[in-house]
Structure 1
């Protein structure tokens, strides 16, 4: 049987594994190159590579390599190949182009030149021009460009070999099947499977790693489900030989047995449904178990240690980044606690997050998932006793003790005041710089914010402290990981504090002093409710009966809700964000209070709805109202501006230290006689303009607006009550 050259391509980083796989299939003269392996093979070995290679992307038969400085040279060389000797004119074909060339910068144009050359050669031979089918061609021609050279090859597989046939058409997974197989091979799964050790994927997605692992263990050829092959329309194809090789694979599948327990779980029910569908198509529905579940609550498959393998999400948004930090931090703790003695293989594009696991990788291999550079981190998970022995004595014990102490004290205080949402910890210990708020929805949720560590702190130490803190928090509060919501809090620029960080759209309803309010734990840096303003909201609720209330920088309208529930005759709330104004409307509606949202400030003298929201720059709205000859008058004004904002929706910037004097004078201009203006800020080091004392009675009420959960450490929260001085001059604006 004649021997011919082949180039077998694969994902980058997989080349050595591919060479080791191809040798037993009968290929020789193996030479690893970037992106694949060059070899020599008989037709039988080429068939076996197509059917049995778990790692290959394509099996290419080079037809000609030539210099192609420009499109004309490419066309001339392509036209010289004996295309009618390779496939019939009745067969459809397509051109695939890869690589780069200085003279051929447009791959689509290069493909068109090769197509024209093939069609012209058939016509020159007196045959009809074959049809082009880019979707399902009978013959696929591969053009590879490399600097001034080009190589034309026949793709024997016809379509990428990672498409095994068990995934529905048009559905792609984040991890291609041949890369999943490479991960399993590098992690030593075949050897573990031979010992009937279990395989478990706690973040299985659509089940790719589990299916590939099951097929390896059961001796199933990865190409058995494929219905089309490129070589079937190749004129040198030998159907009898191919049938014998395929029948042999079918017999091996029937004789093979799956002894190793294989299981997985995923938090997304849609992924679980897709995985089960893929399992059924792969013939594994009754042999691999996949359940809905959180990776951070998963338990081992089987009774003996095995291989845990996973491909965690990569994370591209700020909110996803925070979720990844929590995931990796708690995953390492959970693995030590429940998977002692197991081997773990974590495939990630974020090796920087690997150290957050708190496990020491004994092997790191580089692979490419498409254009994304990734690492495969492998660990031996210490058995629980050994893990406990190597954990530092502190291990978060100090933090856990403080958390328990705070919880015991504050839970009693909260029950007495019928408070269900409060701060239980606020960087009480310098090493654990966390702010932890508890929310009853009624299920308990913990919103955890980590204060960014100064540059003088060793990052590894900060990561270890966070890992310990999250693990102890989960244990002390007995919370599922899904109810712990982690954020990294650092200095915000502009309106970044209010910028969407995730897209969950999950809102929960909490109750505060008889008011129902929506909170969102994941999509924004804050939840939609500032817990330190709880006493201030209660004060507004108690003072609002039959009053006209103005809420400036209203955010999600919690203060407006309290005023309306307290019997306010009118509430007017001003903010610039459509998102938060709509959220505020929903909050009022939760309390059976209807309101109207005005997209622009109403015209002078226009009668507003009893409970109204206006989208406007607060400073501009105040200035415009103060210019009116007949100003609106309010009995209660609540002004809680951001410390700084340079939102694109407003003119200029807002710096509350610089601008609060003018802001409060304008507020006083709308304050009815006998009314009260409440001003609050969380800017550290803030100093109130002493000249305000000339136009108003100013009372520092900070101590009255701090509940027990915000008295430690010394808070940034400050609050003042301003009232018209008996002999104050008019606030008319010139």
Structure 2
């Protein structure tokens, strides 16, 4: 018989090899399919064993179509009475169009009419249509003025193996997953006992398909039915023999030594779906899945594993996730691979290959595939140091002329900066602190805050915020002092001027309603990452007035990391959610970060992704925290309440004044606090006075002294902080 197998685009070559291996003859590869020849047993074997095909079709006729009459007459000339009886049910699948046949439903209708009219004329009775479970499916494809009409021997698409009863968002089809595994070299890895790990396994499709391959299990063995079973020419004796052979091979495959196959995902609901699918596939005594953040990805330690394959289909921004956050997710994935899986191979299937570059690994092979209609690539990596891509050093402008003298004022400031650096640098290194305040208006003439940031690559940056000069200071004199700060900072700290950011910290009201102006962006869009405790945090020194990290709150964040284990953490007025990152890395059961600013929440999601933390377990929510507390019904064990001193944003119905409103805010937050829980309240309002009488129902513990680190001891009023408990 002449036969045709369809498949997802990009898998034609693999399908050709697969059909050749099971005995197909005279194969010819075409777009999204392979034509071949074989007897009825070969057709059944292809339906049962093909891991890649969507359909196995038996072409009955091909003819030109000029109009609806030629379509009808051509279809009516096929001897349908040889294929189905008058009591049978059928369904016609029609693909394609032409000038005469513009609608697929119309094309399907004309062929259906031709079939039932032919059988009625021959037998005196006519078959009926069934859209759900027809006895026979007919496939018609109209292309370039010709129609090919075939029997669909597979019935429902072969990618539907029968085990996937539950799924997550945007799942990978089973035959595409099998194709990805074959391209990744999994059969050879499995044969030598190598392990497979999917760190973002979703509902487990890659895991199950990997097990079916490793255990030599026919992918069609779990299906309830095939399209050929009610065909009049069906040979049930041949089919039963093939099934018995497949069952015997399954028993043998499951009895032999099997490679370790494990899956992880941060989303508990998809892990539950994966467990159900694995049970349905009868592989629950072999495959293991568990809830795990990407941040915790390591080789399993219960036994020594043979180097194997890490393979996954991470989100890529078309339907899931935010692209900026996903860049950091891929970056983190690359880092985990380089740290934990040296000597392994890795395959990343993505619809956005640019994201793959964030992993900083050289792809040794790239395979073009399609996920449905979306173009995609399988990127293959060898996790070897020779394949690691080092970050290119950022180009700097020409160095300052070394002999350019400083003015007496600039030299005086430089001396103070060097003195402070000598006092603080050793402390910072000992405490593993990479961002700290060096100078805070120590000299009244130079009224500025100067902070140092060391990136995770070890580069040193300075951030200078000049405070507004008093009205009594002449404008020209203020400009001169600012120029002297600019001259002194790079020289005193031995930092290239391209790595020093200068800002004037003045509040303004802008036409868009914002209080702080978005400053000019760096031409290279430079954002650096700094390490704080266990956390990696994004810092933008150039674009906004604040950098994304309030340095005075460092001790509070580190305290949250210590307190958060197994806690439900709420971060109100979360800013860039650095505290949520610390809570998550400290073992929080989950975190919720609430803020009114979409800009800050996007930054927050980046910080979470940078640390391999998913938005399923660590959510962000855009809301006015004051209003959110009024309707919240969730309960938390640990809450951070760090509101601004004052806010009159257009996004909120009223004005927030922390001195006036702190009692109502704390009351609202305490309603969300579980018994035995802790609320951390902090404010930067220097004149703030806690209304203890109004809050007498709670235990108030002033911990301000414990939260002022050495770099802020010159300015102990930088913030106030309390623990509030029932």
- Give the TM-score normalised by structure 1: 0.61
Q: Determine the C-alpha separation between the residues in 2 that align with 1:373 and 1:46.
A: 30
Q: Determine the C-alpha separation between the residues in 1 that align with 2:13 and 2:32.
A: 10
Q: Deviations over 1:552-582 (max 9, x none)?
A: 4353579515143368xxxxxxxxxxxxxxx
User: Is the 1:89–1:122 contact (alpha carbons within 8 Å) kept by the matching residues of 2?
Assistant: yes
Q: Determine the C-alpha separation between the residues in 1 that align with 2:135 and 2:169.
A: 22
Q: Deviations over 1:366-401 (max 9, x none)?
A: 011110000010011115xx678x746989xx9x98
Q: Deviations over 1:145-171 (max 9, x none)?
A: 112011110000111000001011898
User: How far apart are residue 405 of structure 1 and its match?
Assistant: 4.6
Q: Is the aligned partner of 1:203 residue 2:218?
A: no
Give 2:478's aligned residue: none
Give 1:632's aligned residue: none
1:566-581 aligned at under 5 Å gives the runs: none
Q: Is the aligned partner of 1:526 residue 2:600?
A: yes
User: SS of the counterpart of 2:2?
Assistant: strand
Q: Deviations over 1:290-347 (max 9, x none)?
A: 1101123211245221111100112247961122111011111111011111101100
Q: Determine the C-alpha separation between the residues in 2 that align with 1:9 and 1:522.
A: 50
Match among 531, 538, 562 for residue 658 of structure 2: 562
User: SS of the counterpart of 2:10?
Assistant: coil
Give 1:509's aligned residue: 572
Q: Is the aligned partner of 1:477 residue 2:533?
A: yes
User: How far apart are residue 228 of structure 1 and its match?
Assistant: 0.8
Give 1:610's aligned residue: none
User: SS of the counterpart of 1:344?
Assistant: strand
User: Is the 1:322–1:487 contact (alpha carbons within 8 Å) kept by the matching residues of 2?
Assistant: no
Give 1:161's aligned residue: 158
Give 2:228's aligned residue: 231
Unaligned runs of 5+ in 2: 395-424, 442-450, 455-460, 464-497, 504-517, 545-568, 581-591, 602-621, 626-640, 673-710, 713-726
Q: Determine the C-alpha separation between the residues in 2 that align with 1:228 and 1:387.
A: 47
Q: Determine the C-alpha separation between the residues in 2 that align with 1:511 and 1:523.
A: 10
Judged with a 3 Å threshold, the aligned counterparts in structure 2 of structure 1 residues 263 and 565 are, in CA distance, closer, same or farther, namely same
Give 2:491's aligned residue: none
User: Is the 1:557–1:587 contact (alpha carbons within 8 Å) kept by the matching residues of 2?
Assistant: no
RMSD, aligned α-carbons: 4.3
User: SS of the counterpart of 1:237?
Assistant: coil
Give 2:506's aligned residue: none
User: Is the 2:96–2:141 contact (alpha carbons within 8 Å) kept by the matching residues of 1?
Assistant: yes
Give 2:630's aligned residue: none
Q: Aligned pair count?
A: 503
Q: Determine the C-alpha separation between the residues in 1 that align with 2:655 and 2:57.
A: 69
Q: Is the aligned partner of 1:98 residue 2:95?
A: yes
User: How far apart are residue 69 of structure 1 and its match?
Assistant: 2.5
Judged with a 3 Å threshold, the aligned counterparts in structure 2 of structure 1 residues 255 and 317 are, in CA distance, closer, same or farther, namely closer
User: How far apart are residue 72 of structure 1 and its match?
Assistant: 2.1
User: SS of the counterpart of 1:97?
Assistant: strand
User: How far apart are residue 238 of structure 1 and its match?
Assistant: 0.5
User: How far apart are residue 452 of structure 1 and its match?
Assistant: 9.9
1:362-381 aligned at under 5 Å gives the runs: 362-381=364-383
Q: Determine the C-alpha separation between the residues in 2 that align with 1:269 and 1:375.
A: 28
Q: Determine the C-alpha separation between the residues in 1 that align with 2:623 and 2:198.
A: 37
User: How far apart are residue 82 of structure 1 and its match?
Assistant: 1.0
User: How far apart are residue 487 of structure 1 and its match?
Assistant: 10
Match among 242, 247, 253 for residue 250 of structure 2: 253
- Give the TM-score normalised by structure 2: 0.62
Give 1:288's aligned residue: 287
Q: Determine the C-alpha separation between the residues in 1 that align with 2:237 and 2:539.
A: 61
1:432-447 aligned at under 5 Å gives the runs: none
Q: Determine the C-alpha separation between the residues in 1 that align with 2:177 and 2:373.
A: 16
Q: Determine the C-alpha separation between the residues in 2 that align with 1:145 and 1:274.
A: 39
Give 1:127's aligned residue: 124
Q: Is the aligned partner of 1:306 residue 2:308?
A: yes
User: How far apart are residue 111 of structure 1 and its match?
Assistant: 0.9
